[in-house]
Chains A and B, each alone.
Chain A
Amino acid sequence: MTFAGIKIKRNIKLQAFVVFIVLLFLFKIFSPSSDSFPLNILNEILVIASTIFLILYFIDLLKTKRINPLSLVMNVGIVSAIIFFLISFSNTIINGLFSNVNERVNNPDLVFGIITFIYALIILAALSYIFLAFKEFFYLNKKQNANTYFNTMVVFIILSAFTAFLKNNHDLSFIKNTFFIVSVLLIIINSLKISWIAFVVKREKLIILFLSIVIAILFAVNLINNSDKEIHHQILMQFSPALNQFFSIIMIYGITYFTILFFTTLFHMPTAEAFDRKAQEVSSFQYFSKLIIQVLDFSELTETITDIGMKVCEAHAAWIVLTEDDNMKIIANKNIGYVSAEKLTDEIFEKNIEKYDKTFILKLERFQGAMQPNDNYSYAAVSPLKAYNTLRGYLVVVKKENFIFDEEDKNAINTFSDYASVAMENSRLLEESIEKERLEKELDVAREIQRKIIPAENPEFDKLEISSAFIPAFEVGGDYYDYFDIGPNKLAFVIADVSGKGISAAFIMAEIKGIFESLTKTIDSPREILIKANQILQRTLDRKSFVSAAYGIIDFEEEKLKLARAGHCPILLLRNGLAENLRPSGLGLGLDFGSRFAETLDEVVLNLQENDTIVLYTDGISEAKNSKDEDFGDFQFQKILLENTNKSADDITNSVLKEISLFSSNNHQHDDITLVILKWKPKIKKDGEEEWQNLTPLLKNKAK
């Protein structure tokens, strides 16, 4: 609706203009030129009215466009040049077309009338446009409503134009002269309001300086050419004295305005650069706030930093050097190739880095001429990026040949790098906390996997007490133990420790469980099972991962323990108040995939005696640390075991756990702690054959 509304409104102004022009044309054709007072007034009213509507129409046309002062100056220059050419050629052309021009002007025929009418219309349009341009200049960078002066001026210009038909020798000519003089005075006052020039950048000021003097001269020439003898003047006077007056006023306005513009610009030139910088600084501070909201993306942030870093000191290229573990990493290079930035960085930091804890300027010499022409930089400003007194890196900005960094550049980049440091640090901290949260989630998953892999309960047997304890470390150490049901009268067990921590260890654990679950069903020898497991692991284990494991089978009927150890902690046998390390030779799973693993792997067979206690554990026990960072140690561990050797398996486990927790109460647990105790408690044989039947392992747990 609004769009349609505007359209109609425009049309009304244009239509009014067209109506008045048509009326004026008809008036010109049918009314002979005369000195009749009312006719003169009617003529002037038509001319002024059409001019006003044309200007109003132009205002509507220009309303939507953003005004750029430089292009406005150029447009005025072009229009004034057009007027200049019209005046210059009006003589030649019209004299060439018509003979006896001076006569015809005062007494025109139809053709001559039409041509002069069109000529006057073009001048009218040009003047209207220039007037409008002055209005735009006046309102440029005006904050408060200062239209009183301008409106007063408009009124006096209209009055001055309207009274122009009063001849110089007329009694009332003083009225015309008064209005004219007041108009000119107001023009001078309004021309002084020229503050917009300060906000133009230096390069544009130079152009305006040149243009303004040319345009001022053009206006002066146009005014001089509008003398009595010129055809142009005669045509205008014949058409309407008001238009002629308007012409003179606009020309005077042009001369005044552009002369003042010239001198103002001239006086602004020395400070232009400083002003540019101040303006830049102001906009830089706007950028700073941009830095704050960009902390979510580190690389985007650094891009912005180099971008603004260049702007604050008018440099030609910039990049950031991150210092991590004495390595220098170049990021966010702007306007410069990575290789060039690297070369220049080497030159800048080839001397001692330590001294660069303040912003400094450095002359670049080494690669002068050696680089690509585009990369011929002569000076670098280097500003440290610090956070909490820790150096994180440097912001480097460089300028090309013939440009230098002055003290203000240095201050600007220094201030800016402080802001940039804070923004970068915030971004880093945010990233760190996100990463930490991610790791914690990952560890939750790893602990969950581990919890599901490890048996929830121990199986129960008549001849064997089993007790176990498992305390996971926060980071998931990769401990694993398990029991397998491998047929009547037998129990297989395994204890393992996967290298590394966290989710990767948890996955390997899961894989190991799968391997043992399947192998125990078909192979009866601990040694063979470990050899086979090692072969299977070759397919998936990476080179730096390995698994220590011990695998044993207890035969309830033969009362024997078969045991093989692949790099695991020794298995302890408590017998008759002594602790014995069962430590058959064997490499950790995954350490060797050739024949050596099998060659070096031994299997021991042990005849079980009553009250034999077999202790399986991982290094989490012997390496548990106290507040002084001392190990719990094997000796202490064995001592506690022996002290409690006559107790039940559960009681022994509890005693060990109690001692460990007492020992390491003030320190956090680094590794998983796993302890499995198997105590051989055969029933006395006198119960006879029947008793043997009942000794079949009851893997109640497995049935669940």
Chain B
Amino acid sequence: MAEFNTSVKEQGEISKIYLKGYLDAHTAPSLENTFSSLIDNKRYKIVVNFQDLAYISSAGLGVFMAFIEKVRDNNGDIKLTSMTDKVFNIFDLLGFPLLYEIFNSEEEAVNKFIETKNVENK
């Protein structure tokens, strides 16, 4: 069985999800649970770090689709960061860069959230 796990770190309003291992049809429910509990706690500013993710299948991609609408309706976003080339290629083929903001580093994603907030406040 392919290993997969997630961990969540909080940084102010922003929640950072760290993915590790293989995200496929069998492990996708685990990530779904992570997203669900964040949304249940009204945490809509989410950065997903793909640094340690070795593989993502179509079912894994589906998880992001399942929650993006709800998150954006609540003034939040799911930003994706630190993908390996292989993982990025899978996202890219399906056109995900057109739908999601994908950053090279977690910091950029966090800054984007903060910038957006500052703009809104002005």
The answer to whether A and B belong to the same complex is yes
Residues of A within 8 A of B (CB): 475, 478, 497-501, 543-546, 548, 567-570, 585-588, 590-592, 596, 600, 619, 631, 670-671
Decide: A500 and B98 in contact? CB cutoff 8 A: no
Contact in complex: A587, B99 (CB < 8 Å): yes
B66 with A588: CB separation less than 8 A: no
Contact across chains for A543 and B95 when beta carbons are under 8 A apart: no
Cβ-defined contact, B66 with A544, below 8 A: yes
User: CB distance B59 to A500 under 8 Å?
Assistant: yes
Q: Is there contact, CB below 8 Å, between A544 and B63?
A: yes
Contact status of A499 and B58, CB under 8 A, knowing A546-B94, A567-B95: yes
Interface residues on B, range: 10 to 19
* Chain B residue nearest to A567 in the complex (CB): B94
Is B94 within 8 A of A588, CB to CB? yes
Asked if B95 and A587 sit within 8 Å, CB to CB, the answer is: yes
Whether B62 and A499, one on each chain, are in contact in the complex, defined by CB atoms closer than 8 angstroms, is: yes
In the assembled complex, B65 has its CB within 8 A of some CB on chain A: yes
Q: Which of A546, A548, A590, A600 contacts B98 (CB 8 A)?
A: A600
Contacts of A591 in B (CB 8 A): 65, 94-96, 99
Interface residues of B (CB under 8 A from A): 24-25, 57-59, 61-63, 65-66, 69, 86, 90, 93-96, 98-99
Contacting pair A543 B66 (CB below 8 A)? yes
Which of B24, B59, B65 gathers most chain A CB within 10 Å? B65
Binding site secondary structure of chain B: helix
Distance from B70 Cβ to chain A, minimum over Cβ atoms (Å)? 9
Tell me, rounded to whole Å, the shortest Cβ–Cβ distance linking A592 to chain B: 6
Q: How far is the CA of A548 from the CA of B90 in the complex (A)?
A: 11
Contact of A596 among B57, B58, B62, B98 (CB under 8 A): B98
For B59, the closest partner residue in chain A by CB is A500
Given contacts A587-B98, A591-B99, A596-B98, contact A546 B58 (CB under 8 A): yes
A543-B65, A587-B99, A600-B98 given; A568·B93 CB < 8 A:
yes
Which residues of chain A are within 8 angstroms of B25 by Cβ–Cβ distance? Answer: 475, 500-501
A-B contact pairs, 20 of them (CB 8 A): A478-B58, A498-B58, A500-B59, A501-B25, A543-B62, A543-B66, A543-B69, A544-B63, A567-B93, A567-B94, A568-B93, A569-B93, A585-B95, A586-B95, A587-B95, A591-B65, A591-B99, A592-B99, A600-B98, A619-B90
Q: Which of B24, B57, B58, B93 has the most CB of A within 10 A?
A: B58
A497 close to B58 (CB less than 8 A): yes
The 8 closest A-B pairs by CB, nearest first: A544-B62, A499-B58, A587-B95, A544-B66, A567-B94, A588-B94, A543-B66, A500-B59
Complexed CA–CA distance, A501 and B58 (Å): 9
Q: How far is the CB of B56 from chain A (nearest CB, A)?
A: 11
A670–B27 alpha-carbon span in the complex (Å): 14
Asked if B59 contacts A501 (CB within 8 A), the reply is: yes
A526 to chain B, nearest CB (A): 16
Chain A residues positioned under 8 Å from B95 (CB to CB): 567, 585-588, 591, 600
Residues of chain B within 8 A (CB-CB) of A586 are 95
A500-B94 in contact given A543-B66, A544-B63, A587-B99 (Cβ < 8 Å): no
- Cα A670 to Cα B57 in complex, Å, equals 10
